Amino acid sequence: MSTAIYSHPDCSLHEMGDWHPETPARLRAIEDQLILARLDGLIERRDGPPATEAALLRNHTRGLLDLVRDNLPGAGKHYPLDGDTLLCKDSYQAALRAAGLALAATDAVIGGSIDNAFCAIRPPGHHALPAEPMGFCLFNNVAIAARHALEVHGLERVAIVDFDVHHGNGTEASFRDDPRVLMASFFQHPFYPFTEPGPVTATSVNIPVAAYSGGDVVRKLVQEQWLPALHAHRPQMIFISAGFDAHREDDLGGMALVEADYAWITHRLVEVAREHAGGRIVSCLEGGYNLSALGRSVAAHVKALAELD
């Protein structure tokens, strides 16, 4: 597969204080491991423009845009949106760039210049509700990109697969009643954001798993629940909310995945994409807070996207 990595220095401008685990150091750790895995010379690097307001407004309210843009604090200061989601002076710029890279990757994959893409972006997005920031997330990058694929490019069916340890409640809220969008995920339960799992339906395959679950549990649910639903939905494009905080070394999560599990899940998604979607995948970084495990897991994920392993 021809794969590109989308990134931009703006995504490192957003910071929420030295104590905060969602830090610009995460992107540096990813870059280090891409070099160590010798992927930096093999995978094309791209960037893209900031998202337009029109693109954000396909998934979010004007009120959310105003809330973020109008509360940017001065240099060195933070404005708390909730207990663990804060703005610094450059947060709006970083968030627009993060969504913009997901949009640029979507355009490129649909345009056919690459098969798939990984977006090394922050702030993350999957907890961001249509009208509310939440859980380190300002705007929902994957949801914005999926809406762009549906409403600008005219795709009729897409899938969003979320393997972050936390429930992608923002994404689920955006598409709960939209038959064009299949959401497939697993999430540690009970755990943040403490949403109750909904019923499994043809387009909502969000599976709670117990703490300490490892690759055996996850691979089984992928085989038995995600894959049949994905094949039935026949998505024309797959978006991945790629969080790596279900890694066993990640203290923010309580699960036990390893790099090989992320590679295995990615290979299964590449197979589904090849069968139904012309190979089209756009994967966007969500969580992952142990810097070493994050970098190694992203390298395994990108290698699998590019089928270099």
Here the tokens at position 243 are 């969080």
- Say whether 189 is catalytic: no
Q: Which residues bind Zn ion (CB under 5 A)?
A: 164, 166, 243, 245, 287
Cβ distance to Zn ion smaller for residue 132 or 245: 245
- Which residues touch 75 (CB under 8 Å, ≥6 apart)? 89
Q: Which is nearer to Zn ion, 15 or 245 (CB)?
A: 245
Minimum separation from the CB atom of position 40 to Zn ion (A): 26
- Would you say 166 or 180 has its CB closer to Zn ion? 166
**Which C-beta is closer to Zn ion: that of 230 or that of 255?**
255
* Torsion sign, CA atoms 32, 35, 40, 42: negative
Residue 39 or residue 244: which is nearer to Zn ion going by CB? 244
125, 141 contact by CB (below 8 A)? yes
Position 263, amino acid? A
| Active-site pick, 14, 60, 126, 127 | 127
At residue 142's C-alpha, the angle toward residues 80 and 250, to 5°, is 65
The residue sitting closest to Zn ion, measured at its beta carbon, is 287
Under 8 Å between Cβ of 77 and 16: no
Closest distance between Zn ion and the C-beta of residue 252, in Å?
Answer: 7
Q: How far is the CB of 250 from Zn ion (least distance, A)?
A: 9
Active site residues: 127
